[in-house]
Amino acid sequence: MASLKELKGRINSVKSTQKITKAKQMVAAAKLRKAQAAAEAARPYAERLAKVMGSLAGTLAGQDNAPKLLAGTGSDQRHLLVVVNTDKGLCGGLNAIIVRAAALKARELLAGGKQVEFYLVGKKGRAPLKRNFPKLIGQNFDTSTVRTPGFEEAEAIADEVLEMYDAGKFDVAHLIYPKFKSALVQDPTVQQLVPVPTPEVAETENNAVVEYEPGEEEILEELLPRYIKTQIFGGLLEVAASEQGASMTAMDNATRNAGDLISDLTIQYNRSRQAAITTELIEIIAGAEAL
Partner 1 sequence: MALHFELVTPAKLVRSEEVHMVVVPGTEGEFGVLEGHAPFMSTIADGAVQIFKAAGAQPEEIQVRGGFAEVGKAGLTLLAEHVED
Least CB distance to partner 1 at residue 196 (A): 16
Positive or negative CA dihedral for 117, 122, 126, 132?
negative
Q: Where are the beta strands (DSSP E) in 35-150?
A: 78-84, 115-121, 137-141
Catalytic residue among 53, 91, 162, 239: 91
CB 140 within 8 A of CB 126: yes
Choose, by CB under 8 A, the member of 233, 235, 247, 248 that binds partner 1. 233
Which residue, 167 or 209, has its beta carbon nearer to partner 1?
Answer: 209
Q: Where are the beta strands (DSSP E) in 89-201?
A: 115-121, 137-141, 172-180, 186-194
Q: Identify which range of 81-89, 104-112, 178-186, 205-213 contacts partner 1 by CB under 8 A.
A: 205-213
- Total residues at interface with partner 1 (CB under 8 A): 30
What is the Cα–Cα distance from 287 to 79, expressed in whole angstroms?
84
Binding flag, residue 60, partner 1 (CB under 8 A): no
Q: Identify which range of 18-26, 84-92, 220-228, 278-286 contacts partner 1 by CB under 8 A.
A: 220-228
List, in order, residues 6 or more apart from 230 with CB less than 8 Å away: 45, 46, 49, 154
Binding flag, residue 156, partner 1 (CB under 8 A): no
Q: Which residues bind partner 1 (CB under 8 A)?
A: 38, 41-42, 44-46, 48-49, 52, 56, 150-151, 154-155, 206, 208-214, 218-219, 222-223, 226, 229-230, 233
